[in-house]
Amino acid sequence: MKTRNQLQVLALTGLMGLAACTTSLTINTGAEPAKSATADDAVHWGYEGAGGPQNWAALADANYLCAAGIMQSPIDLSEANALGKVAIKHNYAPVQASIEDNGHTIQANFAAGLGVKIDARKFKLLQVHFHTPSEHVMAGSTYPIGAHFVHATDAGELLVLGILFTEGEANPQLATILDAVIAGDTSAQHTLDPTKMIPSDLSLYRYMGSLTTPPCSEGVNWHVVKTPVSASTAQIAKFTKIMGGNARPVQPLNGRLLLQPK
Output the tens digit of pLDDT for each of the chain's 262 residues: 433 333 333 344 334 432 222 222 332 222 333 333 343 357 899 999 999 999 999 999 999 999 999 999 999 999 999 999 999 999 999 999 999 999 999 999 999 999 999 999 999 999 999 999 999 999 999 999 999 999 999 999 999 999 999 999 999 999 999 999 999 988 999 999 999 999 999 999 999 999 999 999 999 999 999 999 999 999 999 999 999 999 999 999 999 999 999 9
Residue 43: the pLDDT is 87
Residues annotated as catalytic (active site), given as ranges: 104
Contact 5, 26 (CB under 8 A): no
Q: Which of 128, 146, 124 is nearest to 137 (CA)?
A: 146
**Burial tier of 3 (Cβ tally within 10 Å: 0-12, 13-18, 19+):** exposed
pTM recorded for the entire structure = 0.86
**Strand-pair category, 82-84 with 259-261:** parallel
Per-residue burial over 17-27, b if 16 or more Cβ lie within 10 Å, else e, is: bbeebeebbbb
Domains of the chain: 71-261 (3.10.200.10)
